[in-house]
A = this chain, B = another copy of it.
Amino acid sequence: MKYFVLGSSYVVRLDAGEKIIETLRALCERDVIGSGFFHGLGAVNDAELGHFDPATGDYSWTKLAGPYEIVSLYGNITVVDGKPFIHAHASLCDRTFAARGGHLREAVVSVTCEVTLTRFRDDITRKKDEATGLFKLALDPGGE
């Protein structure tokens, strides 16, 4: 991973074999990025996508071997338990060009992945929602 900083923005290149979520989390930890958002494109293998079913309160997961183009990748950055937390959704296409997408747990860069990331000044945290077990953005007054 290599990156270039332009004010509050980053241009990031992830290289073959690097895990997207893990690598972006490491960048946020290194540069103490406590909130922001990012987009990316490129190509991946071994992606894991999730779909949350509110009726069961659980994610179902699928593993996609690839090779895939990243058709869209958008995520946000927050802080949970003092560590950067990446929440990203993505859609991926194989050689049929059909798009498959969902919550992106992880994917491994196959050729390259190009990310633009905008950091904010302040930390934004998450708090566990007891009803769903999910960590939701803590934006309520008083940090709730």
Q: What residues on B are CB-neighbors of A110 within 8 Å?
A: 54
Total chain A interface residues with beta-carbon distance under 8 A: 63
Q: Are A51 and B93 in contact, CB atoms less than 8 angstroms apart?
A: yes
Q: What residues on B are CB-neighbors of A49 within 8 Å?
A: 93, 97
Q: A3-B139, A35-B6, A87-B114 are in contact. Are A101 and B99 (CB under 8 A)?
A: yes
Complex copy number for this chain: 3
Q: What residues on B are CB-neighbors of A122 within 8 Å?
A: 4, 6
Q: Are B67 and A55 in contact, CB atoms less than 8 angstroms apart?
A: yes
Q: Are B67 and A53 in contact, CB atoms less than 8 angstroms apart?
A: yes
Cβ of A134 < 8 Å from any Cβ of B?
yes
Cβ of A28 < 8 Å from any Cβ of B?
no
Most chain B CB within 10 A, of A6, A49, A71, A112, is at A71
Q: Are B75 and A41 in contact, CB atoms less than 8 angstroms apart?
A: yes
Cβ of A7 < 8 Å from any Cβ of B?
yes
Q: Chain B: which residue is nearest A89 at the CB level? A: B41
Q: Chain B: which residue is nearest A49 at the CB level? A: B97
Taken together as a complex, chains A and B put the C-alpha atoms of A126 and B84 apart, in Å, by: 29
Q: What residues on B are CB-neighbors of A9 within 8 Å?
A: 118, 120
Q: What residues on B are CB-neighbors of A21 within 8 Å?
A: none
Q: Are B43 and A52 in contact, CB atoms less than 8 angstroms apart?
A: yes
In-complex Cβ contact of A101 among B13, B55, B71, B129 (8 A): B71
